[in-house]
C-alpha cells in the first residue's frame, strides 16, 4: 500500500472561493490561510485514496468521529521559503513526513506514503505560489494533519482517517532583531513520561502543556522549560522547541530517549555546529548542572531550536523563584552564527552541502 501511486485530482478554487490576501508586512502567525488544501482519506480496504487538491474549506465531521473522543490526531510543522531569486524552497520535507509516519505508528494510525505526499505538497505549493511571502524573513508555514474520522464510540484504533495539508503565510519571527526569551523552569507539571507519547507530534501533548504555559506567562515568562517526569531533575525541552546550552565551549543538548520531539532544526543545528568544528554533546543534563554553570560562568549561551523561530536565544531562566541571566540577557555569538547559517541555507542564500533543500519547481 505504501508504494501506491497517488492519483491526485486538482480542482482549482473558483473566484468566489479565493481567500483575501493579507498585508505581507503584517502577517503574524497562523491567522491567514491559502486558497487551496490537499486532502486524502484512508480506510483498510482502499488504503490512501481520494487524493485531491481543492479550495480551502471547512471539514465535515461526524460528532462521533473518533478523533473528537479518543484523540488520534497528529500533525507536522514545516515551512516554504522564498529565495532572493524568487524560487520556493522546502527544508528537509521528507524528514517531516517520516516523523509523521513515526507519530502515526505510535498512535496506531496509518503510515504516510511519504514520497507521494511530498509530490502532493509540491503541486499544492505550485498552485498557491503567490502565497509564499516575498517580504524579508516571512515564510509559508505548512501544517500536515491526520485525524481519525470513523464514526464510532468505543476505544480502539479507528479504521478511517483523513490526512490534509493547509498552509499559512507567516511574518518574520524576528522583525525587530533577536529578542532573547525568558524561560520558566517547571518543577511540578510534566510534559511527557518514559513510555508515553512525548516523541510523537500528537495533539494531546500540546493540550497537556497549556496549564504550565499559562502559569509561566502569568508570571511574565515566555515559555516553559520541562524537566523529566521521574526525578524532575533532567532537562527535556522548552515549549515547542528543543533546547541547547553552551557549557565550557561545548554545545550540549538532551539526547533523544523517547520523551522529547526529535526536532529537525535540532538535528540541523547539531550538524552545522559539527561542520564548524564545534564539540557537540548529546547527553542528559540536570537542572543542578545548569544552575551551577550559570553561577560559575561556564554556561555562556542557551537557545531553543524549532521550525517557527529557527533559533530562539534564552536570556533568562527562573528556577524555584530565583532568576539567572544568561550572557547579560543578550544573544550570544554561537546562537547568532548558527541562526545566520541555517537561515542562509533555508532561504537559498548559502550552498546546501547536506541535500536539505528541496525546490518546489
Q: What is the DSSP string of 38-97?
A: EEEEEETTTEEEEEEEEE-------TTBTHHHH--EEE--EEEEE-TTS-EEEESHHHHH
Q: Whole-number minimum distance, CB 30 to ligand PMP, in Å? A: 13
Query: Which segment (11-19, 123-131, 151-159, 261-269) binds ligand PMP by CB under 6 A?
Result: 261-269
| Number of shown-chain residues binding ligand PMP (CB under 6 A) | 13
Binding part of the chain for ligand PMP, among 25-33, 64-72, 180-188, 236-244 by CB under 6 A, reads 236-244
323 burial type by CB count under 10 A (0-12 exposed, 13-18 middle, 19+ buried): exposed
Spatial separation of the C-alpha atoms in residues 175 and 181, rounded to whole Å? 15
- Using CB under 6 A, which of the segments 45-53, 65-73, 217-225, 262-270 binds ligand PMP? 262-270
- Min dist. Cβ of residue 268 to ligand PMP (A): 8
Site for ligand PMP in 25-64 (CB under 6 A): none
Q: Which grid cell sits at 329?
A: 540577557
Q: Find out whether 235 and 283 touch, Cβ atoms under 8 Å.
A: no
Instruction: Tell me the C-alpha distance between 56 and 36, whole Å.
Output: 5
CA distance 291 to 149: 47
CB of 283 to ligand PMP, least distance (A): 18
Return the range that interacts with ligand PMP (CB under 6 A); candidates 21-29, 32-40, 299-307, 317-325: 299-307
**Which of residues 266, 331, 342, 347 is near ligand PMP by CB under 6 A?**
266
Number of Cβ within 10 Å of residue 257's Cβ equals 14
User: Binding of ligand PMP at residue 264 (CB under 6 A)?
Assistant: yes
Site track for ligand PMP across 165-194, x = CB under 6 A: ------------------------------
Query: Which grid cell sits at 67?
Result: 478523533
Q: What residues pair up with 317 in beta bridges, in sequence order?
A: 183, 324
Q: Which of 139, 240, 259, 331 binds ligand PMP (CB under 6 A)?
A: 240
93: contact with ligand PMP by CB under 6 A: no
* Interaction site with ligand PMP (CB under 6 A): 77, 237, 240-242, 261, 263-266, 305-307
Amino acid at each position: 500500500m505504501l508504494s501506491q501511486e497517488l492519483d491526485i485530482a486538482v480542482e482549482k478554487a473558483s473566484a468566489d472561493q479565493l481567500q483575501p490576501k493579507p498585508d505581507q508586512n503584517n502577517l503574524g502567525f497562523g491567522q491567514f490561510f491559502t486558497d487551496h488544501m490537499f486532502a486524502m482519506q484512508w480506510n483498510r480496504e482502499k488504503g490512501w485514496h481520494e487524493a485531491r487538491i481543492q479550495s480551502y474549506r471547512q471539514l465535515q465531521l461526524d460528532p462521533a468521529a473518533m478523533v473528537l473522543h479518543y484523540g488520534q490526531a497528529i500533525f507536522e510543522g514545516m515551512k516554504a521559503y522564498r529565495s532572493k531569486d524568487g524560487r520556493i524552497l522546502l527544508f528537509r520535507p521528507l524528514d517531516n513526513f517520516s516523523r509523521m509516519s513515526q507519530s502515526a505508528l505510535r498512535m496506531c494510525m496509518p503510515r504516510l506514503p511519504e514520497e507521494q505526499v511530498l509530490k502532493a505538497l509540491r503541486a499544492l505549493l505550485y498552485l498557491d505560489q503567490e502565497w509564499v511571502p516575498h517580504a524579508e524573513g516571512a515564510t509559508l508555514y505548512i501544517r500536515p494533519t491526520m485525524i481519525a474520522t470513523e464514526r464510532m464510540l468505543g476505544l480502539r484504533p479507528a479504521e478511517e482517517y483523513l490526512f490534509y495539508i493547509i498552509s499559512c503565510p507567516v511574518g518574520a519571527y524576528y522583525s525587530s532583531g533577536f529578542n532573547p526569551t525568558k524561560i520558566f523552569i517547571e518543577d511540578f507539571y510534566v510534559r511527557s513520561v518514559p513510555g508515553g507519547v512525548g516523541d510523537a507530534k500528537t495533539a494531546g501533548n500540546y493540550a497537556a502543556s497549556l496549564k504550565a504555559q499559562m502559569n509561566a506567562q502569568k508570571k511574565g515568562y515566555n515559555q516553559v522549560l520541562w524537566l523529566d517526569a521521574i526525578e524532575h531533575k533532567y532537562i527535556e525541552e522548552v515549549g515547542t522547541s528543543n533546547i541547547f546550552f553552551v557549557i565550557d565551549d561545548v554545545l550540549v543538548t538532551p539526547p533523544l530517549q523517547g520523551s522529547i520531539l526529535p526536532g529537525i532544526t535540532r538535528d540541523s543545528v547539531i550538524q552545522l555546529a559539527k561542520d564548524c568544528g564545534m564539540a557537540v554533546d548529546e547527553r542528559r543534563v540536570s537542572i543542578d548542572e545548569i544552575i551551577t554553570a550559570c553561577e560559575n560562568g561556564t554556561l555562556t549561551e542557551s537557545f531553543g531550536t524549532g521550525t517557527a523561530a529557527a533559533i530562539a536565544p534564552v536570556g533568562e531562566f527562573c528556577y524555584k523563584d530565583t532568576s539567572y541571566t544568561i550572557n547579560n540577557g543578550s544573544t550570544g555569538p554561537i546562537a547568532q552564527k548558527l541562526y545566520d547559517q541555517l537561515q542562509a541555507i533555508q532561504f537559498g542564500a548559502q550552498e546546501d552541502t547536506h541535500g536539505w533543500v528541496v525546490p518546489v519547481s
